[in-house]
Amino acid sequence: MSTDTAEGRATSAAAKGSFPTGVTIVTGIADGVPFGTTVSAFTALGANHVAMWVLEDASIHDRLYASTVIGLSVLGADQKALAGQFATHGIDRFAGIDWQSGANGAPMLPDVLAAYELDVTERHSIGGFTLFYSTVTSARGRDGHPLVWWRSEFWNGGGLTPR
């Protein structure tokens, strides 16, 4: 079906929603103030690189674009509220969060499933998004199940079974 019609765009969006993704939060510092947002368009590229896509009209885009170091947190299944907090507009997304500065200076969130400190090495504008390509400078993780975004809802990734 063509995506040139409203029906075609809705069908395309539903099809894309069938692809489950992990849920992450990207964080940075601008003028001494932490910023961050929930991101599901993220992928690991080998052991030392990650890529993520952020809408160019996102409220944090310009601050993120200017950043050379960032933090990236992979959320656990028990962190749906945290994902929602960082996806909400018009609030202090760091309210009530006991974050720490990473070795690279980026805000690092506590108790996440995995955390990366990243050097942003490339930025590319693609179709209304910016692709941020980064090098991992530090990583840590803990046991647990991932928070998954699938068909416009959060899911506990603990129900996944190997095949």
Whole domain around residue 105: which residue ranges? Answer: 17-142
CATH code assigned at 47: 2.30.110.10
pTM across the whole model: 0.90
Question: Measured between alpha carbons, how far is 7 from 4 in angstroms, rounded to an integer?
Answer: 8
Amino acid at 137: T
Q: Is residue 151 part of a domain?
A: no
Instruction: Give the other-Cβ count within 10 Å of 69's Cβ.
Output: 17
Q: Any idea what DSSP says for residue 29?
A: E
Neighbouring C-alpha atoms within 13 Å toward the C-beta of 136: 18
How many domains are contained in the chain?
1
pLDDT in tens, the chain (163 residues): 667 788 877 777 777 777 788 999 999 999 999 999 999 899 999 989 999 999 999 999 999 999 999 999 999 999 999 999 999 999 999 999 999 999 999 999 999 999 999 999 999 999 999 999 999 999 999 999 999 998 888 889 998 777 7
What is the residue whose two structure tokens read 């530090």? 138
Q: CB–CB of 76/113 below 8 Å?
A: yes
Whether 29 is in a domain gets the answer yes
Provide CB contacts within 8 A for 3, sequence distance 6+.
9, 11, 12
